[in-house]
């Protein structure tokens, strides 16, 4: 078993992060496996070295130890770029210059509102081109546009073996099947490279998990719907699909899930107030470490 914890250095770790990191760490250690740490810092406009240093400090304080060197996404931009170039040459991508307002106006039906997917509004295909248009594409994807995966051009037979999907573990273990119809209807042409990042969360997480050999992805239930996107990309790129464990979210007293702006729930705040790692485990409902 190889698990990982992959925080973004854009704010302090809170109780929800502690739960996810400790759960993935405990699962790997109980199985005699490997626990990896990855810093997801592709959003350079918000990532800060100080937050990354705080991540290391908080994890060590919690008793979380990781195996091998830390992977940092900002060191892997060339890998993401080469993959995008290949997908572009294979005719799987198209450039999109729509902004949020454009998408909202194009997707909204009069009285019904816009259909929502894992990334927000399901893109209505405004910038999608015909195969003939793509014969005149430039050799490399444009740097001033987002790149979208054209679900209508996925290779024939990509999902025909009956095994396209993912295994969900936890209290309700089950097999979730991913189908082309569901991707077209519920996801749409997802962004695989944002114009200001040179990649996207979806593409980078799929490539990173494969390169790190991750066998079990442990993450919050808020990412459950996005997993079908990751399975699709894994199929397109010929990568293995891990087992997924989407855990419940830690919420505040009002039932709202924690965010990085919730400094009152930050691990550093509890540390400053005298809490112990055992206290944090009790707060998030995990057994005490032996």
pLDDT average, residue stretch 213-224:
94
Average pLDDT over residues 15-24: 95
Classify residue 240 as left (phi > 0), alpha (psi -120 to 50) or beta.
Answer: beta
Query: What is the structure's pLDDT at 242?
Result: 95
Higher pLDDT, 172 or 4: 4
Q: What are phi and psi of 263, to 5 degrees?
A: -60, -25
For residues 191 and 96, is the Cβ–Cβ distance under 8 A? yes
258, pLDDT greater than 70: no
User: Are 31 and 246 in contact, with CB atoms under 8 Å apart?
Assistant: no
* Span 60-77, average pLDDT: 97
Q: Which two tokens stand for residue 267?
A: 């691990």
> What is the chain's mean pLDDT, rounded?
89
Average pLDDT over residues 25-38: 98
DSSP 114-147: --EETTEEPP--TT---HHHHTT--SS--TTSEE
Return the SS3 of 93. Answer: strand
Q: pTM of the predicted model, to two decimals? A: 0.90
Q: Which tens digits make up the pLDDT trace of 168-182? A: 887 677 888 888 888
Write b or e for each residue in 64-103: b if 16 or more Cβ atoms lie within 10 A of its Cβ, otherwise e: bebeeeebbbeebeeebbebbeebbeeebbbbbebeeeeb
Per the rule left: phi > 0, alpha: psi between -120 and 50, beta: everything else, 66 is beta
Average pLDDT (100-128) is 80
Q: Are 20 and 5 in contact (CB under 8 A)?
A: yes
pLDDT for the residue 174: 81
The backbone torsions φ and ψ at residue 289, rounded to the nearest 5 degrees and listed phi first, read: -70, 140
CB 114 within 8 A of CB 188: no
**List of residues 6+ apart from 261 with CB closer than 8 A:** 11
The answer to whether residue 111 scores a pLDDT higher than 70 is no
């Amino acid at each position: 078993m190889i698990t990982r914890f992959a925080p973004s250095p854009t704010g302090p770790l809170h109780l929800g992060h502690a739960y996810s990191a400790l759960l993935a760490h405990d699962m790997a250690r109980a199985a005699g496996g490997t626990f990896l740490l990855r810093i997801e810092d592709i959003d350079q406009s918000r990532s800060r070295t100080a937050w990354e240093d705080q991540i290391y400090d908080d994890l060590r304080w919690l008793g979380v130890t990781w195996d091998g060197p830390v992977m940092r996404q900002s060191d892997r931009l060339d890998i993401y770029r080469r993959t995008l170039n290949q997908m572009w040459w294979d005719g799987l991508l198209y450039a999109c210059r729509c902004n949020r307002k454009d998408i909202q106006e194009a997707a909204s039906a009069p009285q019904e509102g816009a259909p929502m997917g894992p990334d927000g509004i399901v893109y209505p295909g405004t910038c999608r081109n015909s195969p003939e248009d793509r014969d005149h594409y430039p050799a490399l994807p444009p740097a001033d546009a987002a790149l979208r995966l054209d679900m209508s051009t996925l290779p024939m037979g990509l999902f025909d073996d009956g095994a396209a999907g993912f295994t969900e573990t936890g209290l309700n273990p089950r097999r979730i099947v991913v189908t082309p119809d569901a991707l077209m209807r519920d996801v749409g042409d997802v962004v695989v490279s944002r114009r200001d990042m040179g990649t996207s969360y979806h593409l980078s997480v799929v490539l990173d998990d494969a390169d790190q050999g991750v066998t079990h992805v442990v993450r919050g239930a808020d990412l459950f719907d996005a997993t079908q996107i990751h399975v699709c990309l894994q199929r397109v790129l010929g990568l293995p699909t891990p087992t997924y464990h989407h855990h419940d979210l830690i919420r505040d007293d009002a039932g709202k899930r924690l965010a990085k702006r919730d400094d009152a729930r930050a691990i550093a705040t509890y540390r400053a107030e005298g809490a112990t790692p055992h206290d944090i485990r009790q707060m998030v409902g995990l057994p005490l470490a032996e």
